[in-house]
Structure 1
Amino acid sequence: MGKFIKNLAILATIATMTSSAMAYTIERQWYEIWFQVEGRCNDGTYFNGSQGSDGSWTVQGKQQGFHVSSLDTAIRQACLE
């Protein structure tokens, strides 16, 4: 029984870490001239952004995202994560 409770506690910890890791929801992705994305931060703030010709992402939300290579990083910066 003790091992079961320990395993259950580990699973609960992993579930908490996973749910808190997502600081945003992507609602739409599409391609026009460049790849574009829009969605909402966890607090409901809207964000949108695009990928430039050099492959970097710029996302606007609570603040302007910097030109970074990772979409996740750009969104987290825009959502002030």
Structure 2
Amino acid sequence: MVTTRTDLTVRQATADDVPALLPVLAEAFSIGTVAEWAVPEPADRLEVFTGYFRFMLALGLRYGRVDTIADLSGAAI
């Protein structure tokens, strides 16, 4: 089933949004077979992905684009 949301407004993220977006991205990507393969030790996984997305958000903000929504529950780098 496909769900379409029409009540979201996408906006460009700023550096002020990073503290809220960082755990959202790290938690979302630290689950699943690819995350388990990339970081085999479960106790290390969230820390590794937090560092990775800290770096990726910084790159996106500086050289590319980071989009988010009002409640900061998701982002695209």
TM interval, short-chain normalised: under 0.3
> TM-score scaled by structure 2?
0.26
By relative contact order (CA 8 Å, sep 6+), the higher-ranking structure is 2
TM-score calculated relative to the size of structure 1: 0.25
Q: Going by fraction, where is helix more abundant, 1 or 2? A: 2
Higher Rg: 1
